């Protein structure tokens, strides 16, 4: 919802469809080999080499664990969607989603969670902040650097006067103040 509120009205459906495709295509990639790369038997701590497709999903508990992990995969892919909103073609975005869902996220997840070299060194990922959000953030940064700023969003390096940027700053400050009051 945050991403939809930060794009122009003409692009809101595009954002919704991208997020839906993250789940649809990403889950297929994760089912096919991403899950295996992440949780399969470790090959020198680099990636998993077993549990491809339905091999590791024999019981209800294993299937439930797959869906639980697929939501994290979709979150990492969806973070990228917000960073490249209004600047990337749909087909190019699907390619990025497939790469993140099937290769980048699962391999890094294996390093940290699946018995990989980071986990063996004592690495601790606090609530998915590194595996999920950092992967989404780094891929987002790469995409934003390659694509550049949104067209017609800035004039001389500053947001247009009718830009949502001022509104977003106001909302974020209000939320911060509310959270601070409620938690303290």
Return the DSSP state at 150: P
Say which residues have a Cβ less than 8 Å from residue 3's Cβ, sequence separation at least 6.
Answer: 15, 19, 78, 81, 82, 85
Mean pLDDT over each residue of the chain, to the nearest integer: 85
- Segment 8-27 shows an average pLDDT of 85
What share of residues in the chain are helix, strand, coil (percent, to 5)? 70, 5, 25
Give the fold, CATH level 3, of 2-151: Ammonium transporter fold (1.10.3430)
CA–chain centroid gap for 6, Å, is 17
Does 150 have pLDDT greater than 80? Answer: no
> Where in the chain are the domains?
2-151, 154-184
Distances in Å between the Cα of 136 and the Cα atoms of 7, 110, 151 are: 19, 16, 23
Record the tokens describing residue 117, joined without a space: 């070299």
């Amino acid at each position: 919802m945050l991403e939809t509120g930060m794009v122009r009205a003409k692009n809101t459906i595009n954002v919704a469809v991208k997020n839906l495709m993250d789940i649809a295509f990403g889950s297929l990639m994760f089912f096919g080999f991403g899950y295996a790369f992440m949780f399969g038997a470790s090959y020198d701590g680099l990636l998993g080499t077993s549990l491809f497709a339905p091999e590791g999903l024999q019981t209800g508990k294993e299937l439930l664990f797959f869906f639980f992990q697929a939501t994290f995969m979709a979150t990492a892919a969806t973070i990228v969607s917000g960073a490249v909103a209004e600047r990337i073609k749909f087909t190019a975005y699907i390619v990025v989603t497939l790469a993140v869902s099937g290769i980048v996220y699962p391999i890094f997840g294996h390093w940290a969670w699946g018995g990989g070299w980071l986990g063996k060194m004592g690495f601790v990922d606090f609530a998915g902040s590194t595996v999920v959000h950092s992967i989404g953030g780094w891929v987002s940064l790469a995409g934003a650097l390659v694509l550049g700023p949104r067209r017609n969003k800035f004039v001389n390096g500053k947001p247009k006067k009718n830009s949502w940027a001022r509104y977003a700053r106001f909302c974020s400050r209000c939320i911060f103040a509310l959270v601070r009051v409620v938690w303290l």
